[in-house]
């Protein structure tokens, strides 16, 4: 580790041994960025704590203790307690996996649907393109949160339904991006070169077009996790999200809102964790973007 | 400008200019101890391959190098008796565009797409010559006509012009304030041959009319032959040969210059094989402090080339060569 | 010598929202086996489109293409695959012509693999032979394009093009993105390969000094039309078409004592969208009269093997 720091070219040399854009290249690049590693460690720690909550902490996330209502921070309850005396720290850690996993899953769904739609629109063009893109235009003409609310209102609250709502609202941006990338890559000379050496259409798409069109999407996904998590929290905050008593952070904020004047700690801690998580995800996303964006390379 | 005594004097002299960049942790030795002078009303050609440091020299003179990656700059750029590198930024700003202006390589990106061409020319005039808007516009239209664009196209936008016409607009902007020095960075590389001929012709006729001095940056020896008075050959951020056009074209001394001529397909002669310069352009992250940067590719390389940096030797009046073997090779390798 | 490629009245139009672009308009020429034909013209004159249409990277709008005497204008899928084993292309930009996610070895191996001619270890041996042939050093076999300089990248492009042992290669400005010293290396390589494998080149370029150096025959194009074609020596010695004259005089020469008088053309290249009939050069031509734009002009043989499309050729060239 210290050897690399002394020799500034070592990083470049080590990176060049991987295929640019390959998984190992990205991992290597990201692992060399201090801020990204800090973000990654924070998320990882949060997730570990979240799954181990029952074994680590004295209290359960739904354990009510009326005597501790609105308790402030203490050694016993570092983040204090909520309106029915549940330990806020335990609830935050337990709820971490919901906020983060909603972010990941919904981004994943959005990206898959977006890539398929965008690739179809970009590759086939013509009527297919028009139909898909106009339909997505309709989607995009609603503000994201409003659309998410509308979808949740149709499906009702619940963990998977929030993922669905957040996922659907994310589709248009991925589809648009994929379509644009496909169009750029299709015009490159190496695609013509592939045709000239008798590549089949399928092979051209799979081997030459997709791998070169997908990396900006991965960047978008890395950044999208944070914003999907935020949307999920917002939905829960508005009462359309994860059903209580599941301690989703947005839901916690929503409940605590009523007591913001008297007991600000109830709002502060979930808010702080939403902020830190989004920041961490963005830091990692930034590093992935740097690793994948060819424009930033010399 | 009216002082006739200054006419013959060199009015730009660059001395020991040194520019280094930082690039992902590595130092790029872009310009290494470059010295040259430009006399009033003459044209100096800076010739070299991609990455040789030509554009960096030009940007250093104008002080428009990107701050964030600049590691160090030293030496002096004396223009009209003042060292531009030591001027405060505010004072420098009054030189740019007014006394020194630059034409960039790509006319497609050098113009602002959302302003009419006449506005873009008038902007500089109004700024530097304290004219009101109406007068600046009249002057701008005059400039357009000088570069061969009729006045009725003045209110059009850049996208309505072809590449050659855009480059004319760029030239009009550069010359609008009668600069004393024009730096043209590959002004015709993006253009077709017949358009290139028109543009070069325009630049030199305007230069003669206005008495502007020029630094022409190019990789095309043919363009240099047609327009320049003096030539500096740049390799690895150094001027390896410097002299009058006749010196360089008739008696090239440095093996790199000789190689450049040899690698050029000749229109007049039928040769079966070209003689390329072997190997690859130098690595800009290597500091050639005690060797000749061309040693690895040089057909005449001798042991001392790898041990000692050649100094700048004056082989004849005003003809400088940076090569240990300058005298010996010249006889053998005359083209 | 046998005619390898014969192109007759070839047309390629692109419909756009502003009208039909006549990229290639009624062009005829033939290339003999083993020779290099230079195709010169300014940007947008349709020379690249013509090259690509000849090898079916673009489908022609009209006219016929014959390869070794067989009509290849319209091909079934199977016949197209066979045709593409015989014709190849080298691209201008060595940066965009290689897939950035494939190593040099992968790029060179791909056509071999697809052809089915090689298997297993043979495949490897053949691709290494090819890379060695074009002068790529062993240590770069597994490099990615972004790690190589322009010259080596272009060598990889050449290796890919010759991998299927084609007879005919379209070189689309193969050296115009390279520095002078590297350009000479690639030109020498192309000439060596031609000698060794009896290749036929269609060399598309805007650089007249390069084309003079490499080709036996030259076609000059202006806005989709062929204006003059002749052997290289004849064309450079006696250009007859006013455009060719201007083009040749505009080339910057390094001979400082004999700077030729440039013929400066007025105006700019006009648009190839819905062009008027007749000579497209008429608007910039110093000799143009009304009759030049009345009807399309045929290529006329003014000397053996020297064809010119100009209605006023005898008035312009008194020596004819």
Contact list, A197 vs chain C (CB under 8 Å): 84, 88, 110-111, 114, 160, 163-164
pLDDT mean over A207-231:
82
Residue of C nearest to B279 (CA): C182
pLDDT mean over A177-204:
87
User: Which of C43, C209, C250 is nearest residue B197 as measured by Cβ atoms?
Assistant: C250
Calculate the CA B97 to chain-centre distance: 16
In C50-79, the residues whose Cβ lies within 8 Å of chain A are 52, 55, 57
* pLDDT at site A13: 53
Inter-chain residue contact A294 with C89, CB threshold 8 Å: no
Which residue has 């950035």 as its token pair? Answer: C100
Residue B333 has pLDDT above 60, yes or no: no
Residue of B nearest to C256 (CA): B225
pLDDT tier, B278 (very low <50, low <70, confident <90, very high otherwise): confident
Residue A294 has pLDDT above 80, yes or no: no
Q: Which domains does chain A have, with CATH numbers?
A: 31-296 (1.10.3720.10)
Residue A296 has pLDDT above 80, yes or no: no
pLDDT tier, B241 (very low <50, low <70, confident <90, very high otherwise): very high
pLDDT tier, A223 (very low <50, low <70, confident <90, very high otherwise): confident
Domain spans of chain C, in order of start: 3-215, 239-320
ipTM: 0.83
- φ, ψ of residue C4 to 5 degrees: the values are -85, -50
Inter-chain residue contact B193 with C247, CB threshold 8 Å: yes
Torsion-angle region of B51 (φ positive above 0: left; ψ -120 to 50: alpha; else: beta) = left
Inter-chain residue contact B25 with A298, CB threshold 8 Å: no
Inter-chain residue contact B276 with C149, CB threshold 8 Å: no
Can you tell me whether residue A45 is helix, strand or coil?
A: helix
For an interface test with A, which of B21, B22, B23, B25 has the most A Cβ atoms less than 10 Å from its Cβ?
A: B25
Residue A244 has pLDDT above 70, yes or no: yes
Contact list, C260 vs chain B (CB under 8 Å): none
Interhelix angle for A88-124 vs A34-56, to 10°? Answer: 130
pLDDT mean over B219-230:
88
pLDDT mean over B162-182:
86
Euclidean distance between CA atoms B333 and C10, whole angstroms = 49
Residue of B nearest to C207 (CA): B193
Average pLDDT, whole number, for chain B? 84
pLDDT mean over A76-100:
84
- What topology is assigned to C3-215 in CATH? Rossmann fold (3.40.50)
* pLDDT at site A293: 63
Residue A90 has pLDDT above 60, yes or no: yes
Torsion on CA atoms B229, B234, B237, B238, rounded to nearest 10: -80
- φ, ψ of residue B239 to 5 degrees: the values are -90, 110
Average pLDDT, whole number, for chain A? 82
Residue A215 has pLDDT above 80, yes or no: no
DSSP β-bridge partners for residue C168: C87, C200
Residue A7 has pLDDT above 50, yes or no: no
Q: Which two tokens stand for residue A186?
A: 């299709």
* pLDDT at site A21: 62
Inter-chain residue contact A11 with B23, CB threshold 8 Å: no
User: Which of B115-119, B136-140, B171-175, B278-282 comes out lowest in average pLDDT?
Assistant: B278-282
% of residues, chain A, pLDDT over 70: 91
Length of chain C: 320
**Interface list for chain B against chain A, based on CB atoms closer than 8 Å:** 23-26
* pLDDT at site C202: 94
Count the alpha carbons within 13 Å of B60 in the hemisphere toward its beta carbon.
31
Residue of A nearest to C82 (CA): A198
* pLDDT at site A152: 85
* pLDDT at site C35: 92
* pLDDT at site B271: 65
* pLDDT at site A6: 39
Inter-chain residue contact A12 with B24, CB threshold 8 Å: yes
Euclidean distance between CA atoms A113 and A103, whole angstroms = 16
pLDDT tier, B269 (very low <50, low <70, confident <90, very high otherwise): low
Contact list, C213 vs chain B (CB under 8 Å): 265-266, 271, 274
Inter-chain residue contact B26 with A11, CB threshold 8 Å: no
pLDDT mean over A252-268:
83
Residue B144 has pLDDT above 80, yes or no: yes
Q: Which two tokens stand for residue B178?
A: 């009668």
Residue B142: partners with Cβ closer than 8 Å, 6 or more residues away:
none
Looking at per-residue pLDDT, the higher value among C319 and B228 belongs to B228
pLDDT tier, A16 (very low <50, low <70, confident <90, very high otherwise): low
Q: Residues C26, C32, C34, CA angle at the centre, nearest 5°?
A: 135
Query: Positive or negative, the Cα torsion across A238, A240, A241, A245?
Result: positive
pLDDT tier, A17 (very low <50, low <70, confident <90, very high otherwise): low
Contact list, A26 vs chain C (CB under 8 Å): none
Looking at per-residue pLDDT, the higher value among C62 and A222 belongs to C62
pLDDT tier, B5 (very low <50, low <70, confident <90, very high otherwise): very low
Residue C187: partners with Cβ closer than 8 Å, 6 or more residues away:
B265, B274, C175, C210, C213, C214
Q: In what order do the strands lie in the sheet with C19-32?
A: C19-32, C3-16, C62-67, C70-71
Q: What are the pLDDT tens digits along chain C (320 aa)?
A: 688 999 999 999 988 888 888 889 889 999 999 999 999 988 778 888 999 999 998 889 999 999 998 898 888 888 998 898 899 999 988 878 898 888 899 999 999 998 888 888 889 999 999 999 998 888 888 888 887 888 889 999 999 999 989 999 999 988 888 888 888 889 999 999 999 999 999 999 888 888 888 999 999 999 889 999 999 999 998 999 999 998 888 888 887 777 777 787 777 777 778 888 888 888 888 888 888 888 888 888 998 989 999 888 888 887 77
* pLDDT at site C77: 87
pLDDT tier, B162 (very low <50, low <70, confident <90, very high otherwise): confident
* pLDDT at site B43: 92
């Amino acid at each position: 580790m210290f050897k690399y720091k002394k020799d500034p070219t070592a990083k470049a040399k080590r990176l060049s041994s991987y295929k640019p854009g390959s998984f190992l290249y990205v991992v290597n690049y990201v692992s060399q960025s201090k801020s990204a590693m800090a973000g990654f460690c924070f998320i990882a720690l949060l997730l570990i704590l979240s799954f181990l909550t029952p074994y680590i902490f004295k209290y359960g996330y739904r354990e009510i203790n009326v005597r501790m209502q609105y308790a402030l921070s203490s050694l016993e309850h570092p983040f204090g307690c909520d309106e029915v005396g549940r330990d806020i720290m335990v609830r935050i850690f337990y709820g971490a996996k919901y906020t983060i996993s909603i972010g990941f899953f919904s981004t994943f769904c959005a990206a898959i649907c977006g890539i398929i739609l965008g690739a179809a629109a970009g590759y086939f063009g013509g009527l297919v393109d028009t139909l898909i893109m106009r339909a997505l235009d309709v989607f995009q003409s609603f503000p994201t949160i409003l659309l998410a609310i509308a979808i949740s209102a149709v499906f009702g609250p619940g963990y998977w339904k929030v993922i669905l709502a957040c996922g659907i609202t994310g589709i248009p941006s991925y589809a648009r991006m994929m379509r644009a990338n496909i169009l750029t890559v299709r015009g490159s000379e190496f695609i013509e070169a592939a045709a000239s050496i008798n590549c089949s259409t399928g092979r051209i798409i799979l081997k030459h077009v997709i791998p070169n069109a997908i990396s900006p999407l991965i960047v978008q996904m890395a950044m999208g996790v944070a914003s999907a998590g935020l949307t999920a929290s917002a939905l829960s905050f508005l009462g359309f999200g994860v059903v209580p008593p599941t301690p989703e952070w947005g839901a916690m904020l929503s409940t605590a809102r009523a007591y913001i004047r008297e007991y600000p700690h109830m709002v502060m801690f979930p808010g702080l964790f939403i902020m830190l998580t989004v920041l961490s995800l963005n830091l990692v996303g930034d590093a992935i973007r740097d690793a994948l964006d060819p424009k930033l390379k010399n | 400008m009216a002082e006739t005594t200054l006419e013959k004097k060199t009015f730009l002299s660059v001395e020991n200019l040194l520019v280094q960049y930082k690039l992902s942790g590595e130092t790029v030795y872009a310009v290494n101890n470059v010295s040259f002078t430009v006399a009033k009303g003459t044209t100096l050609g800076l010739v070299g391959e991609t990455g040789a440091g030509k554009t960096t020299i030009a940007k250093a003179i104008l002080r428009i190098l990107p701050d964030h990656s600049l590691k160090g700059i030293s030496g002096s750029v004396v223009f009209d008796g003042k060292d531009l590198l030591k001027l405060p930024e505010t004072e420098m700003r009054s030189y740019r565009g007014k006394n020194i202006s630059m034409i960039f390589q790509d006319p497609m990106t050098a113009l602002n797409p959302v302003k009419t061409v006449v506005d873009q020319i008038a902007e500089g005039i109004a700024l530097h010559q304290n004219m009101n808007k109406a007068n600046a516009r009249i002057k701008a239209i005059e400039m357009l006509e000088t570069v061969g664009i009729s006045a009725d196209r003045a209110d059009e936008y850049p996208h309505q012009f072809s590449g050659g016409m855009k480059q004319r607009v760029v030239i009009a902007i550069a010359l609008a304030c009668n600069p004393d020095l024009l730096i043209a960075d590959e002004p015709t590389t993006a253009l077709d041959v017949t358009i290139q001929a028109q543009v070069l012709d325009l630049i030199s006729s305007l230069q003669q009319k206005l008495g502007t001095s020029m630094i022409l940056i190019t990789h095309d020896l043919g363009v240099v032959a047609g327009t320049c008075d003096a030539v500096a050959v740049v390799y690895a951020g150094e001027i390896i040969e410097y002299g009058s056009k006749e010196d360089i074209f008739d008696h090239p001394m440095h093996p790199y210059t000789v190689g450049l001529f040899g690698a050029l397909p000749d229109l007049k002669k039928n040769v079966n094989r070209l003689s390329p310069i072997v190997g690859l352009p130098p690595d800009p992250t290597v500091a050639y402090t005690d060797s000749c940067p061309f040693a690895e590719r040089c057909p005449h390389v001798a042991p001392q080339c790898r041990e000692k940096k050649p100094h700048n030797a004056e082989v004849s009046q005003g003809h400088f060569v940076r090569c240990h073997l300058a005298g010996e090779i010249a006889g053998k390798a005359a083209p | 010598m046998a005619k390898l490629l014969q192109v007759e009245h070839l047309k390629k139009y692109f419909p756009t929202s502003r009208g039909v672009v006549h990229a290639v308009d009624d062009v005829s020429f033939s290339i003999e086996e083993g020779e290099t034909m230079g195709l010169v013209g300014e940007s947008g004159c349709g020379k690249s489109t013509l090259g690509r249409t000849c090898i079916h990277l673009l489908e022609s709008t009209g006219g016929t293409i014959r390869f070794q005497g067989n009509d290849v204008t319209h091909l079934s899928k199977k016949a197209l695959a066979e045709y593409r084993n015989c014709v190849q292309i080298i691209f201008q930009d060595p940066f965009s012509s290689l897939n950035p996610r494939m190593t040099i070895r992968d790029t060179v191996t791909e056509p071999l693999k697809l052809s089915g001619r090689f298997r297993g270890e043979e495949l490897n041996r053949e691709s290494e032979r090819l890379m060695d042939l074009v002068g790529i050093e062993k240590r770069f076999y597994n490099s990615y394009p972004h790690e190589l300089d322009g010259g080596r990248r272009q060598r990889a492009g050449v290796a890919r093009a010759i991998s299927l042992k084609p007879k005919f290669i379209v070189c689309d400005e193969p050296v115009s993105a390279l520095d002078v010293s590297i350009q000479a290396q690639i030109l020498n390589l192309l000439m060596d390969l031609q000698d060794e494998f009896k290749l036929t080149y269609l060399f598309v370029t805007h650089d007249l000094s390069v084309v003079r150096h490499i080709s036996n025959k030259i076609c000059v194009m202006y806005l989709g039309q062929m204006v003059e074609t002749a052997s290289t020596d004849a064309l450079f010695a006696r250009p007859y078409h006013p455009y060719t004259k201007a083009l040749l005089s505009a080339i910057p020469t390094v001979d400082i004592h004999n700077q030729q008088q440039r013929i400066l053309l007025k105006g700019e290249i006009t648009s190839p969208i819905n062009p008027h009939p007749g000579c497209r050069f008429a608007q910039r031509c110093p000799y143009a009269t009304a009759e030049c734009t009345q009807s399309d002009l045929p290529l006329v043989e003014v000397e053996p093997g020297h064809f010119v499309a100009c209605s006023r050729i005898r008035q312009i060239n008194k020596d004819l």
